[in-house]
């Protein structure tokens, strides 16, 4: 008979390996495609997220420019590392006072996704979307307005 103290760690390791594989969401450079009406400033850069414990997902980055000339940096993370991440419930507003640099944020629902819009005085706006089953999409720009971030998000997600 195999001692229980040996069986339990083995079963835990097998479960974790299965769970990691089950939650792995493939993301390819096509996650951030060329978009009509937007200038692609770079090719998609794909980085596998790996740790000693295994594959944790994929990170895709790309830069776009809108018709007004605003540069917007897009990042898409997917896989077990972010599978359970979600924004707080809609309707929260706050700031990073008293220790921060004047950033404000608000949570909302965006096209069926939970979202965080953050405004940082010296860095601009960022829109982070929790995409159920797909990962996390973040759009950042020092000059673009909220409407431009929303428009790019709609184009990337094909949800105009």
Domain count, the chain: 1
Integer Cα distance of 136 and 97 in angstroms: 26
Encode pLDDT of 150-159 as tens digits.
999 999 987 5
In tens, the pLDDT along 72-101 reads 999 999 998 888 787 788 999 999 888 888
- Better-scored residue on pLDDT, 54 or 24: 54
pTM of the model: 0.78
The first and second tokens of residue 85, run together, are 């991440």
The per-residue pLDDT for range 87-141, each reduced to its tens digit, is 788 999 999 888 888 899 999 998 888 999 999 998 999 999 998 878 999 999 9
pLDDT of residue 88: 82
Separation of alpha carbons 4 and 2, rounded Å: 6
Tens digit of pLDDT for each residue in 4-26?
Answer: 333 333 333 333 333 333 333 34
Residue 145: which domain range?
4-157
Do 150 and 110 touch, CB atoms closer than 8 A? yes
Q: What pLDDT is stored for residue 29 in this prediction?
A: 59
């Amino acid at each position: 008979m195999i001692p229980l103290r040996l069986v339990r760690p083995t079963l835990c390791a097998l479960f974790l390996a299965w769970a990691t594989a089950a939650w792995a969401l493939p993301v390819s450079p096509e996650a951030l495609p060329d978009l009509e009406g937007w200038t692609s400033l770079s090719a998609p850069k794909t980085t596998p997220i790996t740790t000693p414990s295994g594959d944790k997902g994929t990170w895709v980055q790309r830069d776009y420019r809108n018709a007004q000339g605003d540069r917007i940096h897009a990042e898409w993370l997917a896989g077990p590392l972010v599978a359970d991440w979600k924004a707080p419930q809609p309707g929260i507003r706050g700031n990073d006072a008293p220790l921060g640099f004047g950033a404000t944020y608000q949570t909302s629902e965006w096209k069926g996704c939970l979202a965080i819009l953050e405004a940082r005085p010296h860095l601009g706006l960022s829109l982070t979307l929790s995409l159920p089953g797909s990962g996390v999409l973040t759009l950042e720009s020092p000059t673009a307005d909220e409407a431009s971030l929303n428009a790019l998000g709609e184009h990337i997600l094909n949800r105009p």
